[in-house]
Amino acid sequence: MSDKTTANAKTQSDVLFEIKDLCKDFGKGLVLDHISTTIKQGEVVVIIGPSGSGKSTFLRSLNLLEVPTSGHILFEGADITDKKLDIDAYRQKIGMVFQHFNLFPHMTILRNMTLAPVKLLHMDEKEAEALAMGYLERVGLADKAQAYPSQLSGGQKQRIAIVRALCMNPDVMLFDEPTSALDPEMVGEVLEVMRDLAAGGMTMLIVTHEMGFAKEVASRVMFLDEGKIVEDGTPEKLFEHPESDRLQSFLAKIL
Amino acid sequence: MDGFLASFKNNFIDDNRYMYLVEGLGTTLLVTAFAAILGILLGFLVAIIRSTYDKTGKMKIPNFICVIYLTVIRGTPSMVQLLIMYYVIFASAAVGKPLVAILSFGINSGAYVAEIVRSGIMSVDGGQFEAGRSLGFSYAQTMLYIIMPQAFKNVLPALANEFIVLLKETSICGYIGLMDLTRGGDIIRSRTYEAFMPLIAVALIYLALVMFLSAMVRKLEGRLRESER
Q: What is the pLDDT of residues B28-71, one digit of tens each?
A: 999 999 999 999 999 999 999 999 998 888 899 999 999 999 99
Angle at A179 between CA A191 and CA B226, to 5 degrees: 105
pLDDT of B228 reads 60
User: How far is Cα B75 from Cα B86, in angstroms, rounded to an integer?
Assistant: 19
Q: Rounded to whole angstroms, what are the CA distances from B80 to A62, B84, B99, B174? A: 54, 6, 17, 13
User: How far is Cα A202 from Cα A172, in angstroms, rounded to an integer?
Assistant: 6
What does the radius of gyration of chain B's CA atoms come to, in whole angstroms?
A: 22
Chain B: residue whose CA lies nearest to A91: B136
Contact yes or no for A221/A45 (Cβ under 8 A): yes
Lowest-pLDDT range, A15-24, A217-226, B11-20, B185-194?
B11-20
pLDDT of B3 reads 86
pLDDT in tens, B162-184: 999 999 999 999 999 999 999 99
Angle at A68 between CA A250 and CA A101, to 5 degrees: 65
B152 close to A (CB below 8 A):
no
Contact B150 A165 (CB under 8 A): no
Among residues A92, A2, A13, A17, the alpha carbon closest in space to that of A58 is found at A17
Query: For A179, phi and psi rounded to 5 degrees?
Result: -115, 5
- Kindly indicate the confidence band of residue B227, based on its pLDDT and cuts at 50, 70 and 90: low
Among residues A32, A54, A17, the alpha carbon closest in space to that of A220 is found at A17
Set of chain A residues whose Cβ sits within 8 Å of the Cβ of B125: 100, 102
Contact B141 A104 (CB under 8 A): no
Q: How many angstroms away from the CA of B155 is the closest CA of chain A?
A: 14
Contact yes or no for A178/A158 (Cβ under 8 A): yes
Which element (helix H / strand E) includes A70? strand A70-75
Sheet with A203-207: list strands edge to edge: A94-97, A172-176, A203-207, A44-48, A220-225, A228-233
List alpha helices for chain B, DSSP H: 2-8, 18-56, 60-75, 78-84, 97-123, 126-135, 139-142, 148-169, 181-192, 196-224
B131 close to A (CB below 8 A):
yes
Contact A98 B131 (CB under 8 A): yes
Set of chain B residues whose Cβ sits within 8 Å of the Cβ of A164: 135
pLDDT of A167 reads 97
Q: How many angstroms away from the CA of A7 is the closest CA of chain B?
A: 31
User: How far is Cα B100 from Cα B85, in angstroms, rounded to an integer?
Assistant: 7
pLDDT of A8 reads 45
pLDDT of B210 reads 94
User: How far is Cα A182 from Cα A52, in angstroms, rounded to an integer?
Assistant: 20
Q: Taking residues B119-143, what's their average pLDDT?
A: 95
pLDDT of B10 reads 87
Query: For B107, phi and psi rounded to 5 degrees?
Result: -65, -40
pLDDT of B223 reads 80
The pTM of this model reads: 0.84
State how beta strands A30-40 and A203-207 pair. Answer: unpaired
Q: How many angstroms away from the CA of A92 is the closest CA of chain B?
A: 4
Query: Which residue of B134, B224, B228 to mutate against A (max A Cβ within 10 Å)?
Result: B134
Rounded percentage of chain B residues whose pLDDT exceeds 70: 98
Q: What is the mean pLDDT of each run of 10 residues along chain A (255 residues)?
A: 44 82 92 95 95 94 95 94 92 97 96 97 96 96 96 96 97 96 94 95 95 93 95 94 94 85
DSSP state, residue B35: H
User: How far is Cα B113 from Cα B106, in angstroms, rounded to an integer?
Assistant: 10
pLDDT of A214 reads 93
Angle at A225 between CA A219 and CA A228, to 5 degrees: 80
Set of chain B residues whose Cβ sits within 8 Å of the Cβ of A92: 135-136
pLDDT in tens, B197-216: 999 999 999 999 999 999 98
Contact B228 A65 (CB under 8 A): no
